[in-house]
Chain A
Amino acid sequence: MRPENYEAQRQPPSNEFELNFGPNHPGIEGNYALKVKLHGDVVLEAQADGGYLHRGFEKLMEQRLWIQNIALVPRICVPDPSPMELCYSMAVEQLCGLHVPQRANWIRVMQLELSRIAAHLFTFGGHAATTGMYSTMYWGVADRDLVLDLFEEFTGGRVYSIYNIPGGVRRELPSGFLQRVSETLDYIESRLPDYDNLFFKNQVFVKRAKDVGVMTQEQALAWGVTGPNLRATGLAFDVRRDDPYLIYDQLEFEIPTEESGDAWARTLVRRHELMESIRIVRQVVEALPDIHGPIRAPIPNPLAWNVPAGETYTRVESSKGELCYYVVSDGGPKPYRVHVRGPSSMHAVQVLEKLSVGSRIEDIAQTMFSLDACPPEVDR
């Protein structure tokens, strides 16, 4: 079968070789790549390679009106878009000194927590698939769809809701909607024991995830890790509680932590967070009927809206960690500068590179999915 001119190339005797892990690979999350140097199965060196999803959002936002950007921002993170809308809207509100009505704040919390539930279910699905447990993947995606149905009903969009605008939210809730939210939450909660049995307590998963991609709390703090990945090392830090926004200081919820800092701990933290999010949405569902009033503050004509000059830095706890927007206005109809600090820009680049070294090739996917890396946030 060899061509006639074939000659075996002589290589220096070495067991080292390089491998492009991605950008098109089932073990990689999104369009992203890792260039790894291997010795046998063991990773000697890893280099993250991004840019496959770069769409130039920050430049685009400088060329569009303040209100037009609402349609752009959710696209920066596909699995968890709602915090993006909120973080941008909060920045514009702070620059304009807009006072958001109380009812809008409660609805926003419901949207954010539903988005977190959907994002975590999606992550469980993807993570389970890396260990070959495709049933959990189908379950995760199917149960997430129920949350997307709710989004479709109250925002009009399944994935990108484009529902938060500076000043409040766009529409009032449909009649009977809170009842349907309760039913969906009850259903998802009733499914969790099944998830535990099939995935979280499954030895196939536990043995693959324990002691993989371990990071200590000191390392996590030095590397700028936030969100569930930081909480998996034992530090109970959550922007919702420690730098509160909206009405999170009026809600009751726990901040789950784990101590071991490995892939298993990170996934378990998310599993507990899912339950806390359900608890928060239930509090909102209970309180919302008694909170009356408008759902957004009056804003100027959005097509001729000059936001006062100034700068602000807003922070939100997204499902992946600390999400921040630095927004600068020069008093014009368009933002002068918008800087998006996606939580994954830390753990999808430097942290992933460091944790991959020394692990085996089959554990790279395990590490990446347990970190919940979101490449579009890195590329922007």
Chain B
Amino acid sequence: MSTTEKPKYYGKRHRLAKPELLAPAGNLEKLKFAIHYGADAVYIGGQKYGLRSNADNFSFEEMREGVEFANRYGAKVFVATNIYAHDEDIAGLEEYLCKLEEVGISAVIVADPAIIETALRCAPGLEVHLSTQQSTLNWQAVKFWKEEGLPRVVLGRETSFAEIAEIKKHVDVEIEAFIHGAMCSSFSGRCVLSNHFTDRDSNRGGCCQSCRWKYDLFEDARSEQEWVSEEDAADQQMLQSFSLGVNQKPLYEEQDSAFSMGSKDLCMLEHIPDLIEVGVDSFKIEGRMKSIHYVATVVNAYRQAIDSYMADPENYVLKPEWLEDINKAANRPLNTGFFYDTPDHEDHIYEAEEKAVPYDFAGLVLDYDEATGIATVQQRNHFKPGQEIEFFGPNQMFFKQTVGQLWDENGNELDAARHPLQKVKMKVDHPVRYFDMMRKNNTKQSKSAVKTAVTV
């Protein structure tokens, strides 16, 4: 499905009243991509109070720039201030929230009532959205938060369609639901594995994903009657078998995979009609730590699905290529979370995880010369003549081609695009424009293709 049609909008996009497509933006560049590829709103992290202490996170200046960029598209920027604060975190909170309001942030996503209360009091221009970290599952709690002054609640990921319908029936409030991406397998906020294993506070952004580690499952074979203390056992020869380790009965066999709490990733792309019909107001994509390629691809697919459904619900059909695109950026198997049923044995990952994403972000289109059909591409991963690549962009722009001759900026021919962020010129089969992306399949191609160090 290649297209030569020129995108109709630039810097402006037809926006639908509802639902909102809400995308993660780990940094300013990702924000621009998420919005350009169709997000109605993005959520970001600031320097403080967010749950992704390892992400780039935005300075106020970057926020200001992000908001300006978003405004050009009629999009909004939210900031996650979703930690559970300790007393030491409270100082500076008011100032921080005021500053967010001042730089033009539309909403904060909050879990801790200390922050909710402060935001409502000090920064009335900010909407306060209840974070999924509160694990809100019932309408009475949703109503409580609405009455506190929150226009939106992000439900716990454990909420089913039937439960969402019930909540919508009882309370007139915006409901936001995660529809795509990685999931905590625990109730959000109700996990301190990281605290115990690594002294990192998960509810303040220190999560080290211990749920995805490998564990062995045992049964304690000691019965209560048999149990004696170590000290007593040491005194009696016949009881020595009760000392450490002897009575751990494994519940796994040699060939079994290890126990893990790791969940498959959520993907609701095939169920857009159900989400819209139940009345979810904001479709949230997870992944502030994910790459530009991932964010652009996922947003692009959902944008098309939502627009297509809204344009003509009766005749809506899921296009297989949307799902194919998602799979090009996905690095975990996908499922539908709790929307239809409680996840079971098919919804967890027990085998070693295949970290590699099937497609690499190879280049970003910076410019295109209509007269010569030559594009200027910023290298994001190694590519060279002869390789099969794909170009894609917003508004269903997509085509495949083979890499032909490559030149550097001065017109010198290149045998490969080897250098991160290097500007490379190449002939393209169809018109492209700034923000279009080039990706290559990394599974079929030569192993010698060295990945560059650029994090995308």
A binds B: no
Which B residues have a C-beta under 8 Å from some C-beta of A?
A: none
Which A residues have a C-beta under 8 Å from some C-beta of B?
A: none
